[in-house]
Amino acid sequence: MNKESEVKEPIVNYIFDGPKEVKIKPAGKVGYFGISSYAGSVTVLGAELSKNGHNTGLSEIEEAYYEKKLKLDPGTLNRHSEWWDNVFNVKHNLRLHNTKTTEFLLDNPINQIRYKVMMASTKIANTEIEKIKPTVMFFISDDEAKARKELESVNYEFEGMGLIHKASPEEKRENLRLFGKKGLDDMTETMLNVELVRELKKDPKTFIETLNDKDIKTKAFILELLEKGLLKRKGNYYLHGEDTIANSTEECVDYFNDVKNQSVKLALTTRLSKAKK
């Protein structure tokens, strides 16, 4: 065969971007007799089967890459392939310790495929936080990811404290209304700060997203109108007197943001000021 007639293998542009090693820990759920698992016992897991084939966690590019690395025929690693039943489940399945950490070095194709299968499994949580799900038996322990998550939370807390510090007392009341707080008119600024910090500690990310909402003032205005009885809500409907002005919170926000309704908003703002006295 001359060089011109040679069939060239397709070039697969893929680089494994997972960790260098992975640790799998048991979720530690208690059994009927108060024992989660006997010492030394293992659970064997393969690629889960669904109506769309095996949940391998592999993309088409990854399938082609690992077929080439393992010298397998094209299509062998397809999610509908029998390879996942006949070979993976016999030779390369996941043998996970029920009472101690199982470690995999992801320095070879098979262990990298194992890792992809782990990430796609409903029985293995991708993070420690997700191990409370009812189907989960194990979770991937990632100290680096855990540290990043904690740092992210700390950064949100720093940002949240900055937002609290620069807000005026009235803005703090507006912010707290979005967290369902009532009876804010008589609170001192110290009390408002304490309540805001409590909300920040509960969920820093949600706190930041709430305070950065572009419609925060309109939403707080609506909640204050409801609290003072100047606006009524029946199910999803918002009523101003006998008139239905919106069929949802989003529509109510749009109503008060609409230039055509500013006279109504101004009248309600005046009534709201009187109600506070």
Q: What is the pLDDT of residue 147?
A: 75
Residue 77, pLDDT score: 96
Task: Check residue 63 and give its pLDDT.
Answer: 95
pLDDT above 90 covers what percent of the chain?
Answer: 66
> How would you classify the pairing of strands 21-26 and 138-141?
antiparallel
Q: Return all residues near 216 (Cβ < 8 A) that are at least 6 apart.
A: 174, 175, 178, 210
**Long-range CB contact pairs, 64-69, < 8 A, 24+:** 64/10, 64/12, 64/14, 65/12, 65/14, 66/109, 66/112, 66/113, 68/9, 68/12, 69/109
Do 27 and 131 touch, CB atoms closer than 8 A?
yes
- Residue 131 is predicted with a pLDDT of 75
**Is residue 49 classed as helix, strand or coil in its secondary structure?**
strand
- Extract the tokens encoding 118: 């782990």
Which residue, chain included where needed, has tokens 């690395």?
A: 69
Token pair of 273, please?
A: 């000021």
Q: Where in the chain is the domain with CATH 3.30.250?
A: 227-277
Give the architecture (CATH level 2) of 227-277. 2-Layer Sandwich (3.30)
Distance from chain centroid for Cα 182:
29
The CA-CA-CA angle for residues 158, 160, 161, to 5°, reads 65
Residue 107 DSSP class: -
Could you please report the per-residue DSSP string of 164-221?
Answer: HHHS-HHHHHHHHHTTT----TT--HHHHHHHHHHHHHH-HHHHHHHHT-TTHHHHHH
**Predicted local confidence at residue 18, as pLDDT:** 84
Rounded (10°) angle between helices 216-227 and 262-276: 50
pLDDT score, position 220: 94
Question: Which one, of 57, 102, 95, lies nearest residue 79 by Cα?
Answer: 57
Rounded to whole angstroms, how far apart are CA atoms 217 and 144?
39
Q: Phi and psi (nearest 5°) for 125?
A: -75, 140
Q: How confident is the model at residue 35, as a pLDDT?
A: 46
Residues of the chain where predicted confidence (pLDDT) is lower than 50: 1, 3-8, 32-35
Q: Per-residue pLDDT tens for 39-98?
A: 778 899 999 999 889 999 999 999 999 999 999 999 999 999 999 999 998 889 999 998
Q: What is the CA radius of gyration of the chain?
A: 29
Q: How far apart are CA 212 and CA 183, in angstroms?
A: 23
Q: Is the dihedral of CA 83, 63, 91, 50 positive or negative?
A: negative
